[in-house]
Amino acid sequence: MNVGARLSGILLVAALAIFGALVGTYPTYLVSLAMINVIAALGLNLLTGNSGQISLCHSSFIAIGAYGATLLTARYGVPFWIAIPLAAAISALVGAALGAPASRLKGIYLALATLGFLQIVQLAIEEFADITGGVRGMKVPRPELVRGVRVTEYAIFLIVLGVCAIAVWTAGNILRSRVGRELNAVRLSPHAAQALGISVARVKLAAFALSAAYAGVAGGLLSIVVGFIDPVEFGISASLRQITFIVVGGLGSVAGSVIGATVLSALPEVLRPVKEYNDIIYTMILLGFLLFVPRGLITIWTGLLRMFPRAPVAAVTEARAK
């Protein structure tokens, strides 16, 4: 990541922190949901966009994170700042357990396997009502920094902002590392990757675990921001929305995950008068981008950046290199 990108990221985080302090509760709530969607989209993009594995159960790992963090907090008194990482670790372990057999599958067979896992998680949440609250859902206790000291709404917003910034930075570092190169190699050609000494099964397993960990963090944060969880929020519609985020933003791109999740997180507010048609509209957007803009909005963004002259420092650096 170059200096300009780092500076832009720092300025954006600072601007959002100031924004949260100046506006009311509802705008910060909406921005928090958008940042949580960004975190989840980053994880799914690592799995689908970078390693090439289609997953229809991303919302299941978000559910595991949400219910895991809530149960740890509500039943065992674990502070939320410990419960969320633990829930993410549980999601990662479950993701690895699913990824082990799923790594032998590809294409439609992998999609069907992940769809089956989604149904299993939904049924488990509904059937074990004594633990999860079943179809009635579960109220999430107000997060406390320590026992008796509750966290304010603005503090929760800052926590989500900080975690989102770390998630974006981490995803970028992963893609620039050897792990990222291996993920893309497996996506482009598993056989060629194998010939280069890359363990395809290990890379696919790592992709599932990483994706699930990101989803677990998003789920844990979602539970404390919303204050209530129920199985309806973690069904196939939620998974398709996550896929739409990364397709609209751009597959295999950190910036694409951020752009897609941010833009489409505002869509429910725009579609409030016709919210019963949300799933149809999301599906139409997904199909439209797959057919006409397969590389996503990131291509438009990069095209706009090329229209601006390069920074003088970059030009001087290039001239010296020559």
Q: What pLDDT score was predicted for residue 310? A: 53
Query: Residue 145: what pLDDT?
Result: 76
Cα 67 vs. chain centroid, distance in angstroms? 17
Domain boundaries, the chain: 3-321
| pLDDT digit string (tens) for the chain, length 322 residues | 567 778 888 999 999 999 999 998 999 999 999 999 999 999 999 999 999 999 999 999 999 999 999 999 999 889 999 999 999 999 999 999 999 988 788 888 999 999 999 999 999 999 999 999 999 999 998 888 777 778 899 999 999 999 999 999 999 999 999 999 999 999 999 999 999 899 999 999 999 999 999 999 999 999 999 999 999 899 999 999 999 999 999 999 999 999 999 999 988 888 888 878 888 999 999 999 999 998 999 988 777 667 665 544 444 344 333 4
- Residue closest to 62 by CA, chosen among 228, 259, 248, 221: 221
293: enclosing H helix or E strand: none
| Residue 206 pLDDT | 94
CA-closest candidate to residue 52, choices 259, 208, 167, 172? 208
Q: Supply the pLDDT for residue 315.
A: 43
CATH architecture label of 3-321: Orthogonal Bundle (1.10)
